[in-house]
A and B are shown apart, each in its own frame.
Chain A
Amino acid sequence: MDLRKIILLLFAVMPGLLTGCGKQKPAPAENGQSKPPVAVELIVPAERNSGAGGTDVLLVPGEAVFHRGPLAGVYVVDGNGRISIRWISPGRLENGSLVVLGGLEAGERIVGTYDPRLEEGVRVKQLVSETKEGSVQ
């Protein structure tokens, strides 16, 4: 009985060892919580507007959108000033604003200009006060 156990153990340990090699936890990235808010230039709400075609469309500033390969995203700011990536379906550009076809709702606050240093979960605050913000909230 014991012999079987030992050999089975070897069997079980082999994939176990390999698994151990395979698993690579990422190095702990810096935590947004402990850091002071990052200053961003602009936080604007996504606006509902009547587009060029006469139908209602949702607009965000063109500079707010960043691309990861084929994916397009914006940083959405939640009530606590924390940002998270939101993937959007981009439509056409209209006067420097981008029509958002899906993924965003009117009134959601987004970081107005994309900054590559920003990371998911980081808290942000605005440098310049923006008048539109108050009216939406």
Chain B
Amino acid sequence: MNEGIAGRLAKQFINSKITPLLMIAALLVGVIATFMTPREEEPQIVVPMVDIYIPYPGAVPAEVEERVAKPFERSLTEIPGVDYVYSTSMQDFALVTVRYKVGEDTEESMVKLWATLMKNMDKMPSGVQMPLMKKVAIDDVPVLNLTFWSKSRDPYQLRKSAMDVADELKKIPNIGDVEIKGGLKRQVRVLLDKQQLVKYNVSALQIARQVQMANSQMTSGAFTRQNSEIVVRSGSFLESADDVGSIVVGVYGASPVYLRYVATITDGPEEVNNYNFFGWGAASHSKDRGEYPAVTLTVAKRKGADASVLAGNVIEKVDHLKGSVIPAGITVTETRNYGETATEKVFTLLEHLIIAIVAVTIVVGLFLGWRGALVNFVSVPITFALTLLVYYLFDYSLNRVTLFALIFVTGIVVDDSIIIAENIHRHFAMKRQPRLQAAITAVSEVGNPTILATFTVIAAVLPMVFVSGLMGPYMSPMPIGASLAMIFSLMIALIVTPWLSYRLLKAEDGSHGEYDITKTAYYRLFTAVLSPLLDNAFMRLAAFAGVGLLLAGAIIMVPLKAVEMKMLPFDNKNEFQVILDMPEGTALEQTARVSKEISAYLRTVPEVQSYQYYVGTNAPINFNGLVRHYYLRQSPGMGDIQVNLVHKGERKEQSHDIAKKVRAGVQQIARKYNGNAKIVEIPPGPPVLSTIVAEIYGPSQEQQIALAKEVKRIFSETPGVVDVDWMIEDDQKVYNLVVNRERAAFRGVTAEQIAQTLRMSLAGMDVGLLHTLNDREPVTIQVRLPKADRTSLKDLSNIFVQSQGMGSFTTRLRAGEMIPLSELVRVENRVQDKSIYRKDLRRVVYVTADVAGVTESPVYAMLDMDKKIKQLKMPGGYAIDPLYTAPPKSEERLAMKWDGEWQITFEVFRDLGTAFAVVLVIIYLLIVGWFQSFKTPLIMMISIPLSLVGIIPGHFIHGAFFTATGMIGMIALAGIMVRNAVLLIDFIQIRRNEGAGLKQAIIESAAVRTRPIILTSGAVVIGSVIMLFDPIFQGLAISMIWGGVLSTVLTLVVVPLVYYITERKGEQSRQEEKKS
């Protein structure tokens, strides 16, 4: 027999001393690599994303769009590697977001962006200020949140302690950004007294100028005298509130007017601009019904650092600081620890991995005895050790995707060893040759088709590398990990397994007689099953018809919605968020009150451990919030409620079910106050703007909004569609104070003076810093009217501005006269212009929603709504035909495109589908190359569609969605099933070449190959069982288990039958040839 590569390798290593050394070395490097690889929960995703804030004070949204956003967008799309450009044009400024393609180099992207921006700055209209560029990266997401809360301290004190802690924490290695959410900063507030200002003839602008000028100090130079230099300094900084109060801001009569005469000066917390409260939920078993002022300290990690190590270090440090930096009375509670969850996830997966290996070993043991099992058991850790080494070398982290790839291949990597060990076992049992020779013959016999088979499986999984977009990083470790593991397992099967088998396997002592295939149970079984089918054409037809019916029945379950398609199912997390949007123009306290009421409801939910609401400041973001720009949620009408559930081990319900359960209650409270509340869960895969997004394009904003309104109505009427919202602000009342130019000019007042005075009075103006030494944050000096004096237009009208007199060149009146604003301005009531959103150079209006309840998959909800949207009558008399894959070609007509999760689903299934097609071609080519026949590969590939018979009903039985992971299972299974067919037909051909008749060869090979086929498929099935319990990877398990079982059984019958039919004619001539 031709030994081939396999035989030669086996011969080389079967008695070599190197083999055990290789095994040990592989194990060692694997163990070391495991420790050196950083651990985190989510896979590392490099999506350079940059927010560019471009201020254009005074411009209305339409102008901002036309002058700033549009030109910027146009130039940004020229940059290679840019995937999307979004912009929002608001009153006074534009926010342009650039998203690069996944995997683009971050630094390079920033440089390109900066260069492009600078190139175009000269084209900006005057008045546009310098843009602010902010890189948004996944490492900005805090891995650890510590909530400082207290029953006795106020937000001001809390923030101070948190700042002190943050300062200490920064000393820890590998720590990234440390931020404080909520609390109030120290500020020197200069609260103007309007009456006194008038009395002393001092204007607000004058005060600002005086404070700025008083607050300066500089080094003037130096004297040299007697060989030494004496530095001269002049001026002094303001160091306390008293200093500020003692500034002379004017002269009244003959005496100076000190600032304290005309304003109240306080040194302490700034004006309340956020509410951040913490409370315990029902699951904490705390009877504490109170909620306490809180401040959250968020800790991000440096890129590539291990989240769990960092979190451990931080917590340790914080424990040390208790009692010293953290005063008594402040409690520090951990409200997020991704380090812990990452470790836990990694740990669970490792546990699953071990269970899978043990289960597979037991199965092998049942067939080959404990010695055979041991041979296989040893090969798995070596394979994984090498794979982990490669992970480390490729800079992958240990996360749920990379580890999952290992579990996924557990069942597959043992296969090669099983096939080899089984055949050696069989040859030992046959006792036709001496042991060493028998082992080498056995390896030569199955080794070469095993190489082919391994490559078919690799060919099946490897094309998944080409999944593009955000889903890519979630997928790519899998094909790479799996392919490498396969190659290692093949090498081990050819080098280590023969060595181990030769030493461990024993021929059964019982049977001393010559091995006879016809006496085995498998042979009898296949004679009974296959003979009638081979002999009787009618029976054969009936069998094919039966299989065809099964297949058709399985496929029809998809259009019947017995099995629904979805991108990824929800994971079981320990948190969710409530996002509250009050109508624009809602006061901070009102939003706080609604948030409090929602929280009060949420805390009664039995699974809620704790909650924290943030109003006026955003909650610490997660990856989802990063993509959705939740970090910009800082206006008074927005509230974020972070809900922490008890650990998933301590509750029965999945987080998704809890979120569904509370949705109605939460939204009812929000609606009572005209607010809109959304329950936001952490998506299992890449985050999107919203699960369902309808992008509405059109010629004008009014028409877009009109259509959006209709679409929004359809959304809310469709069952299963929840959290409906749109990105159109509510009408917000605006008082437009129009300056009477002539009168102002006549009185010697400029429009700018009026604008600045108003801004200082209402928003306040930071006029400088207090130069203190011990504060962690800069202490600003702010000039503003007290809150009580800025409540209505009436308050505004008795603000005074000072005439510049002749200095203004427009009047001859005396300078310094105080002129009430009411004389110079006229009030217009207006509605704030709506923000303008653009995506990839097109104006767009977004309508967003989520799905929960009746439909869990957005695709079906979209199809439902499609029908209704098509019925809408447009002003031009045309109908809207929602687009699915690309934005409309023209904006002349109203158009709608589905986006959100759909876009990613579409891309993933498109890429996976393409990958699958490529897989089929590659497998075909591989087998053509091996068998030198164009026909045989087709016979083998028949087993691929047969897996559907198991996969689809399997999903139905489990009540699961057919997801991307299910699809991956299906693709991998294609490789495995073809491998089975390869081994089967290869053996038939060997037998036929040895002179056996076609029928005899078929039955014999079925009988001989059944054991390894069942063993390998069994290993795949058993190895996958553990994944059934993982919410995300369940789909893959279902595909592998049900598809594997059904396809194996059918392959063993259908493939020999088809082979028989195709070879029958050739066989007759062959037999005749033989006879002659």
User: CB-CB < 8 A to B290: which residues of A?
Assistant: 29, 119-121
Complex alpha-carbon distance, A91 and B286, angstroms? 36
CB <8 Å contact, B275 and A87: yes
CB <8 Å contact, A69 and B156: yes
CB <8 Å contact, B787 and A69: no
User: CB-CB < 8 A to A54: which residues of B?
Assistant: 794
Determine if A37 is an interface residue (Cβ-Cβ < 8 Å).
no
Determine if A125 is an interface residue (Cβ-Cβ < 8 Å).
no
User: CB-CB < 8 A to B293: which residues of A?
Assistant: 68-69, 71
**B493 CB to nearest chain A CB (Å):** 19
User: CB-CB < 8 A to B271: which residues of A?
Assistant: 70
User: CB-CB < 8 A to A121: which residues of B?
Assistant: 289-290
Interface CB pairs A-B, < 8 A, 18: A4-B34, A8-B350, A12-B343, A12-B347, A15-B339, A16-B340, A19-B337, A19-B340, A28-B287, A53-B795, A68-B293, A69-B154, A69-B156, A70-B184, A70-B268, A85-B291, A87-B593, A102-B589
CB <8 Å contact, A92 and B789: yes
CB <8 Å contact, B792 and A55: yes
Most chain B beta carbons < 10 A, residue from A22, A91, A104: A22
Determine if B596 is an interface residue (Cβ-Cβ < 8 Å).
yes
Determine if A128 is an interface residue (Cβ-Cβ < 8 Å).
no
CB within 8 A of B286: which of A1, A26, A101, A103? A26
Determine if B180 is an interface residue (Cβ-Cβ < 8 Å).
no
CB <8 Å contact, B284 and A25: yes
User: CB-CB < 8 A to B34: which residues of A?
Assistant: 4, 8
CB <8 Å contact, B343 and A102: no
CB <8 Å contact, B315 and A25: no
Number of A-B residue pairs having CB atoms within 8 Å of each other in the complex: 156
In the complex, besides A15-B312, A71-B154, 6 extra interface pairs with C-beta distance below 8 angstroms are A15-B339, A18-B319, A31-B287, A69-B154, A87-B592, A120-B291
User: B residues near A, CB below 8 A?
Assistant: 31, 34-35, 153-157, 184, 268-272, 275, 280, 284-291, 293, 308-309, 311-312, 315-316, 318-319, 331-334, 337, 339-340, 343-344, 346-347, 350-351, 354, 357, 381, 587-590, 592-593, 596, 600, 787-789, 791-792, 794-795
Determine if A62 is an interface residue (Cβ-Cβ < 8 Å).
no
CB <8 Å contact, A103 and B350: no
User: CB-CB < 8 A to B285: which residues of A?
Assistant: 25, 28
CB <8 Å contact, A15 and B343: yes
Determine if A81 is an interface residue (Cβ-Cβ < 8 Å).
no
- Interface SS majority for chain B: helix
Complex alpha-carbon distance, A19 and B227, angstroms? 62
Determine if A107 is an interface residue (Cβ-Cβ < 8 Å).
no
In the complex, what residue of chain B is closest to A98 when comparing beta carbons? B788
**B233 CB to nearest chain A CB (Å):** 36
CB within 8 A of B269: which of A23, A26, A69? A69
Complex alpha-carbon distance, A85 and B156, angstroms? 19
User: CB-CB < 8 A to B272: which residues of A?
Assistant: 70-71, 87, 89
User: CB-CB < 8 A to A8: which residues of B?
Assistant: 34, 346-347, 350
Complex alpha-carbon distance, A26 and B330, angstroms? 11
User: CB-CB < 8 A to A53: which residues of B?
Assistant: 792, 794-795
CB <8 Å contact, A103 and B592: yes
CB within 8 A of B343: which of A7, A11, A120? A11
Given A12-B308, A15-B339, is A70 in contact with B787 using a C-beta cutoff of 8 Å?
no
Complex alpha-carbon distance, A68 and B277, angstroms? 13
CB <8 Å contact, B794 and A12: no
**A131 CB to nearest chain B CB (Å):** 27
CB <8 Å contact, A18 and B316: yes
Complex alpha-carbon distance, A91 and B270, angstroms? 16
Given A18-B312, A23-B334, is A4 in contact with B31 using a C-beta cutoff of 8 Å?
yes
**B390 CB to nearest chain A CB (Å):** 16
CB <8 Å contact, A25 and B286: yes
Given A70-B154, A87-B592, is A22 in contact with B318 using a C-beta cutoff of 8 Å?
yes
In the complex, what residue of chain A is closest to B39 when comparing beta carbons? A11
**B723 CB to nearest chain A CB (Å):** 26
User: CB-CB < 8 A to B351: which residues of A?
Assistant: 5
Determine if A24 is an interface residue (Cβ-Cβ < 8 Å).
yes
Complex alpha-carbon distance, A85 and B35, angstroms? 50
